């Protein structure tokens, strides 16, 4: 049996220590500038717009808005959306449900709703043309069938739960602020522990990349949007030829908003948690495969911009919990009087504190009334490395199926 000599063991330990020191210095050298960029984005939160609240309709809003809802096998979650839209006032001229040949009870639910509220109209989109993704194709179909008398077109997702007064408040805010396109963030309804753990970590990736969403973007390439509630002037959609500029995008909302911003139209994003709720995915795996598939926004981003954002996520969101775990588990191996290890530990502790503070900041973006173990939400920082990994995986793949459709 070979027993290493004390001298060889000492040499090995010295070599290992030097390698670890070099790695720690490398991590520190990339995390410091990344942290500075992150802080510059988060400080913009001091200029956040106030949350949008209910605004009663006024006569000048009469018939200004056409609503489009794309559907595909949404029977299990469509009812709250239909009820919420029916509760909107006379500012809504028509509600067009564009169904993509659902095989469940979705069409029947819409027909039943139209008998109670004549503003509802069911239509079916044509087979998907080459180069189109299902959602923008359905929205484009609905736009072509809206009344020319409507000044605004509002896209609403089938899994949302609009609150009374949503449309009036949204149009009033857009007109007062002179926006051409405005979308709202929603309040997420979470139920199961897996999604309570993973979903906030995925949501935080957007904050790290773009800062608080309801602040003015610096350039069109940093514009954010949310297709769950997406209001656009009819004249702007006509200028953009409907949704054609986002035809092959799996994040068509952000793609269209950035295209509009590049053409000089004013784009806004407001906090609509008081006006709109959404139940997106059930459980951990549904959240992982569903939301994580498009959250990278690669279809709306340049390659350089996408990978720069992912590098920042890795440094500021993915690494801290890993570095701190290693430091706590194996700290006895490293001499903490070495300033490299000291500053690396302090920087990652600082980043972890920021992350916990952001959990508190986004808590109002969640509805925990149906949550089975809402305390799991506060463990979401532990899911950060997994959330960052999900975006890296998504950035290297293009979806082959989405909402029941399959793409080559």
* pLDDT tens column, 21-61: 788 899 999 999 999 999 999 988 777 778 888 877 788 89
Per-residue pLDDT band at 310 (split at 50, 70, 90): very high
Q: Please give the Cα distance from 287 to 199 (Å, whole number).
A: 7
The answer for residues whose C-beta is within 8 angstroms of residue 24's C-beta and 6 or more apart is: 340, 341, 344
Domain with residues 59-189+212-280, CATH architecture? Alpha-Beta Complex (3.90)
Contacts 24+ apart (CB under 8 A), 146-149: 146/66, 146/68, 146/94, 146/96, 146/234, 147/66, 147/93, 147/94, 148/234, 149/63, 149/93
pLDDT digits (tens, 9 = 90+) for 107-151: 999 999 999 999 999 999 999 999 899 999 999 999 999 999 999
- The pLDDT value given to residue 12: 43
pLDDT digits (tens, 9 = 90+) for 88-119: 999 999 999 999 999 999 999 999 999 999 99
- Only one residue has tokens 């948690």, namely 273
- The pLDDT value given to residue 48: 77
Q: End-to-end alpha-carbon separation of the chain, Å?
A: 58
pTM (predicted TM-score): 0.90
Whether residue 72 has pLDDT greater than 80:
yes
Per-residue pLDDT band at 293 (split at 50, 70, 90): confident
Across the range 78-86, mean pLDDT stands at 97
164 contacts 87 by C-beta, under 8 angstroms: yes
Q: Please give the Cα distance from 395 to 32 (Å, whole number).
A: 24
- Inter-axis angle of helices 134-144 and 252-262, nearest 10: 60
Per-residue pLDDT band at 336 (split at 50, 70, 90): low
- The pLDDT value given to residue 398: 81
Across the range 335-352, mean pLDDT stands at 85
């Amino acid at each position: 049996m070979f027993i290493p000599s004390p001298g060889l063991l000492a040499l090995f330990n010295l070599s290992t220590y030097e390698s670890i020191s070099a790695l720690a210095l490398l991590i520190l050298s990339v995390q410091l500038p990344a942290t500075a960029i992150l802080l510059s984005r988060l400080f913009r939160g001091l200029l956040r717009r106030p949350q949008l609240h209910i605004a009663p309709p006024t006569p000048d809003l009469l018939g200004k808005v056409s609503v489009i809802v794309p559907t595909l096998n949404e029977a299990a979650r469509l009812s709250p959306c239909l009820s919420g839209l029916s509760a909107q006032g006379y500012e809504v001229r028509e509600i067009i449900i564009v169904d993509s040949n659902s095989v469940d009870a979705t069409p029947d639910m819409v027909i039943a709703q139209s008998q109670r509220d004549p503003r509802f109209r069911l239509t079916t989109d044509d087979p998907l043309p080459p180069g189109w993704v299902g959602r923008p194709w359905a929205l484009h179909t609905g736009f072509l069938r809206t009344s020319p008398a409507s000044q605004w077109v509002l896209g609403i997702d089938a899994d949302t739960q609009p609150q009374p007064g949503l449309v009036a408040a949204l149009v009033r805010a857009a007109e007062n602020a002179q926006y051409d396109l405005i979308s709202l963030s929603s309040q997420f309804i979470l139920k199961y522990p897996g999604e309570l753990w993973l979903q906030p970590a995925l949501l935080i990736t957007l904050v790290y990349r773009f800062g608080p969403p309801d602040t003015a973007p610096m350039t069109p390439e940093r514009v954010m949007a949310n297709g769950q509630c997406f209001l656009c002037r009819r004249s702007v959609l006509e200028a953009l030829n409907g949704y054609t500029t986002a035809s092959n995008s799996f994040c068509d909302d952000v793609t269209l908003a950035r295209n509009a911003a590049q053409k000089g139209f004013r784009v806004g994003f407001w906090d609509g948690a008081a006006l709109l709720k959404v139940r997106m995915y059930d459980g951990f795996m549904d959240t992982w495969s569903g939301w994580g598939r498009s959250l990278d926004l690669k279809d709306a981003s340049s390659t350089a911009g996408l990978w720069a954002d992912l590098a920042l996520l890795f440094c500021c969101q993915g690494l801290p919990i890993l570095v701190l775990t290693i430091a706590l588990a194996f700290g006895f191996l490293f001499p903490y009087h070495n300033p490299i290890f000291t500053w690396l530990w302090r920087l990652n502790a600082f980043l972890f504190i920021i992350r916990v503070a952001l959990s508190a900041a986004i808590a109002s973006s969640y509805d925990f009334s149906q949550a089975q173990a809402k305390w799991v939400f506060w463990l979401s920082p532990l899911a950060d490395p997994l959330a960052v990994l999900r975006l890296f995986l998504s950035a290297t793949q293009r979806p082959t199926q989405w909402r029941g459709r399959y793409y080559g």
